[in-house]
Amino acid sequence: MPEAALHLGSGKVRELYALDDERLLLVTTDRISTFDVILPTEVPDKGRVLTGLSAFWFSRTRHIVPNHLLALRDDGRSLECRRLEMLPVEIVVRGYLSGSGWHDYRATGSVCGHPLPHGLRESDRLPEPIVTPATKAVSGHDENIDARTAASLVGARRWAEAEAVALALYRFGAAHAESRGIVLADTKFELGIDRTGTLVLGDEALTPDSSRFWPAAAYTPGRPQPSYDKQFVRDYCESLGWDKTAPGPDIPAAVVTGTRARYVEAFELLTELAFDDYLADPQVVLR
């Protein structure tokens, strides 16, 4: 990052900088979190896998919605982005019943105001994908809200537009992933508005950090599914009997290597590119 850039904020995994009044730099690190805790051990190339996947999807979904990507830097882990006015809601699309969706369904039979059929099991495919908005609560944990509440936060017309865009993005991503042996169970989008008032896709898109990717070959409803990327890390952490509060444990080299391989495998399946080609020329994902 040669030029002066003002650090705007840190996520668990990403760093955000201002380049100027109109441009941001979104840097994805090799940090990994599990059970909501950042671990002390990094996974080499994880940042470049996530950045490359995001850039890949941005380039292939422009027919659905414009996005904030201006440039992919040659480090492979940094995106120059247009600065947007971000909507104050996260937009999750769920095609399968998992995580907080499964939790809410078990308690109420509904998810974010969507009544669902009786008798669904954990990880079951839904009859149709549903849009489940959430707000960032002060606790740092997202809080599911219903469409009425989302519409009151962004306006009814804007909410209708955001819902339609998010559904179309999910359907596109899920169909592509399915053809490559990956179930896209759910995914989170962050949308913003540009200076002309146009709705624009921001943040990262359709990555394993913003989505649940499940290996299709192992899909078995009725229980939680193994995660495509983080399962080795989760299994190792579970084997320690760690209480899931910070600081997390160091991760052994073999678990790191296996996890890196899973990220690279997801990248290669979804992009149909060799990861080495991406390292040699990051722009390859945009073509």
Q: Which residues bind ligand PZK (CB under 6 A)?
A: 9-11, 14-16, 24, 26, 68, 81-84, 86, 192, 202-203
In the complex, minimum distance from the CB of residue 153 to ligand PZK, in angstroms, rounded to a whole number? 16
For residue 220, report the phi and psi dihedrals to the nearest 5 degrees: -140, 100
Pick the closer one to ligand PZK by CB: 84 or 112.
Answer: 84
What length does the chain have?
Answer: 287
In the complex, minimum distance from the CB of residue 151 to ligand PZK, in angstroms, rounded to a whole number:
22
Could you tell me the two tokens for 185?
């169970």
Question: Would you call the peptide bond into 44 cis, given omega within 30 degrees of 0 as the criterion?
Answer: no
Nearer to ligand PZK, 28 or 227 (CB): 28
96 phi and psi angles, rounded to 5 deg:
-135, 160
DSSP letter string, 122-169: TTPEEEEEEEEEEEE-TTSSEEE--HHHHHHHH-HHHHHHHHHHHHHH
Report the residue closest to ligand PZK, judged by CB.
14
Nearest distance in Å: CB 27, ligand PZK: 7
Which of 101, 192 has the CB closer to ligand PZK?
192
Cβ of residue 66: shortest distance to ligand PZK, in angstroms? 12
Query: Least Å distance between CB 169 and ligand PZK?
Result: 15
Min separation Cβ 106 and ligand PZK, Å: 30
Instruction: For ligand PZK, give the closer residue by CB, 82 or 103.
Output: 82
**24 or 255: whose CB is closer to ligand PZK?**
24
C-beta of 68 vs 94, nearer to ligand PZK: 68
Cα angle vertex 176, ends 173, 178, to 5°?
A: 105
Question: What separation in angstroms does the CA of 185 have from each of 80, 126, 160, 199, 264?
Answer: 28, 10, 22, 25, 19
Q: Which residues pair with 199 in a beta bridge?
A: 193
